[in-house]
Amino acid sequence: MSKKVRVRFAPSPTGGLHLGGVRTVLYNYLFAKHHGGDFILRIEDTDQARYVEGAEQYIIDCLNWCGLQPDEGPHVGGPYAPYRQSERKLNYRQYANQLVEQGHAYYAFDTTQELDEMRVTYKTPENPQPQYNFLIRENMRNSLTLGKIETARLIREGTPYVIRIKMPHNEEIHFTDMIRGKVTFNSSLVDDKVLLKADGMPTYHLAVVVDDYLMKITHAFRGEEWLPSAPVHILLWQYLGWQADMPEWAHLPLILKPDGHGKLSKRDGDRLGFPVFAMDWLDPKTGELTTGFKEKGFLPEAFVNMLAMLGWNDGSEQELFSLKELVEKFSIDRVHKGGAKFDFEKAKWFNHEWIKNSFNATLASMLTDFWPDRKITNKPLLEKMIGLVKDRCFTLNDFWEQGSFFLQAPINYDLSPIRAKWNEEKTVFFNAFIEVIPMVEPFDAPTLEAAFKTVAAEKNIKAGELQLPFRIMLVGGKFGPPVFDIAATIGQAQTMERILYALAQL
RNA sequence: GCCGCGUUGGUCAAUCGGUUAAGACGCAUCCCUUUCACGGAUGAAUGACGAGUUCGACUCUCGUACGCGGUACCA
């Protein structure tokens, strides 16, 4: 019997959840669910310096919005609790000590200052960034150079120390990545990474391995930026004697900035005017607010759909997928190796498609949530309005711009396009038309249009010349769905009222 | 510098040795529409470069170039 699939998403609560992060979760989730497995959320909050209050809840909120609910996690519990690294502290030291006893790791007493000096001393044009490696560790203050007695003394005296992995000299380390195939590294080129920090917290390297083992993770997905540290993790799995349980790895391609090159960052969004976070993120330290896709008026389904297609497709021409369909069709071998540039125009297109395919009633309740300050009491009217304007809305925001005049009389009228050509005949026409409106039965678009044309013919004016004025009277500008649809939707009273108001202005 | 990973139109991308190299976004033109859009149609635009393997290479191999990532007591 094959073991059950268990994948985890392990963010560090240091700020907002950006596109790359959400896509990593998504692929984790899709893979787990596709194979009938569990999706686990683990919080990696060992980085005290960058830990941000509230970021964990924010991550959970984002996952909820996207519909990617974890099966296990700090807020839902599970058999391997706790799911926060900070609450698992004791475990890590135990394993780090084990590695030291086995000779795969050692104590290092070098101060920050000493490390800085080392980096300056050994810096050459050929080696601009010297590493704490098999060569240099011979010249540093660690248990390898100091000897047993001195090491024991320093520890007894409470000298701060870290535990570093002892990378072997000139060994081939290779592993199979589910996306990239076989990847090979030479151990001499990897430095002696710190495993346990002076404060007793593990670094990411120790923590992922220990946590993945203890939580029985079977598949590990992470960004491509982690590929260079994979050999450290592979070795740790071996040294700890857990090789048989090592998860399968998948290093996901990066999401790149639309212009130029490089990883997409928060700054790019600010600079180019689009969100890079799933939801609004208010940084409590700086007070800076970064807008999210949710608040920009994106449907979660569209957001997820768009992200899924940035680096994966099912090989067919289909582009629109629900989360359920994505789960059914996802396959890891179809994930791309190369990074993809983010394109906000395409993202909006996805949202537009999802808006068009959503029911009016669904959109109506979304909009009432989206506009908490705009008291919308007339739900049937809202739904009718949505039906008429949704084809032209790319985000939830657009609905107000495109359809607010259905819900309330326009505040600003731009009469300039008709003012120049205005004349007495037109005033006469509209006065006559108002008389007719109460008699139009039923008050629907075709009947009203017929009445409009009849009056125009009686008054000897071309109906075409009257349509633009009529539109502006109703909506305040040159936009919106067909005029008679608008009139029929807002009703007789509103139609007359708005004509009278505009007539007074003219 | 070193190591790793990449490279099909402007962007997302299909192709798993043989096609006129799909499709989508965006762009352009036309149609629809006496508003603005949506929509429909058409079009321009692609295999980084150089060798090799092969009857045949975008596809396999090698090299070059370029890009990205890493090179922290950050993840």
| Strand B close to A349 by CB, under 7 A | yes
As a whole number, mean pLDDT of residues A213-230 equals: 95
Closest residue by Cα to residue A269 from A286, A291, A288: A291
Residue A206 predicted with pLDDT over 50: yes
Q: What is the C-alpha to C-alpha distance for residues A396 and A362, in angstroms, rounded to an integer?
A: 12
- Whether residue A231 contacts residue A187, with contact meaning beta carbons closer than 8 Å, is answered with yes
Cα–Cα distance, A495 to A473 (Å, whole number):
9
Q: Is the pLDDT of residue A1 over 80?
A: no
- What number is the ipTM of this complex? 0.94
How many CB atoms neighbour CB A369 within 10 A? 8
> Is pLDDT of A375 > 90?
no
Strand B contact with A143 (CB < 7 A): no
Query: Residue A49: what pLDDT?
Result: 84
**Which nucleotide in the DNA or RNA is closest to residue A205, CA to C1'?**
B75
Strand B interface, A 351-410, C-beta < 7 A: 352, 356, 391-392
Distance CA A149, CA A100 (A): 15
Q: What is the pLDDT of residue A302?
A: 97
Nucleotides of strand B lying closer than 7 angstroms to a protein CB: 1-8, 10-15, 22-26, 33-39, 67-75
Structure tokens, A329: 């069709």
Protein CA at A475 to nucleotide C1' at B30, angstroms:
30
Token pair, residue A443, equals 């008050």
Q: How far is CA A41 from the centre of its chain?
A: 16
Quick one: pLDDT band at residue A125, thresholds 50, 70, 90?
confident
Residue A326 parent element (H or E): helix A323-329
- With tokens 């009947």, the residue in question is A447
Tokens of A419: 């003012």
A46: nearest nucleotide, CA–C1' criterion: B75
Q: How many residues does this entry show for chain A? A: 506
Coil vs helix vs strand at A146: helix
The per-residue pLDDT of chain A, averaged, comes to 93
Q: Which of A492, A506, A495 is nearest to A427 (CA)?
A: A506
Per the CB < 8 A criterion, the answer to whether A211 and A88 are in contact is yes
Predicted confidence (pLDDT) per residue in A330-352, tens digit: 999 999 999 999 999 999 999 99
pLDDT of res. A483? 94
Q: How far is the CA of A407 from the C1' of B15 (A)?
A: 51
CA–CA separation, A481 and A96 (whole Å): 68
Position A47 pLDDT exceeds 80: yes
Identify whether the C-beta of residue A194 lies closer than 8 Å to the C-beta of residue A140. Answer: no
Q: Max alpha carbon distance in chain A (Å)? A: 112
> What is the model's pLDDT at position A289?
92
- Among residues A263, A266, A346, A459, the one annotated as catalytic is A266
In sequence order, what DSSP letters do the residues of A457-486 get, joined into one string? HHTT--HHHHHHHHHHHHHSSS-SS-HHHH
- Residue A4 among the catalytic residues: no
Token reading at A455: 């009056």
Q: Is the pLDDT of residue A89 over 80?
A: no
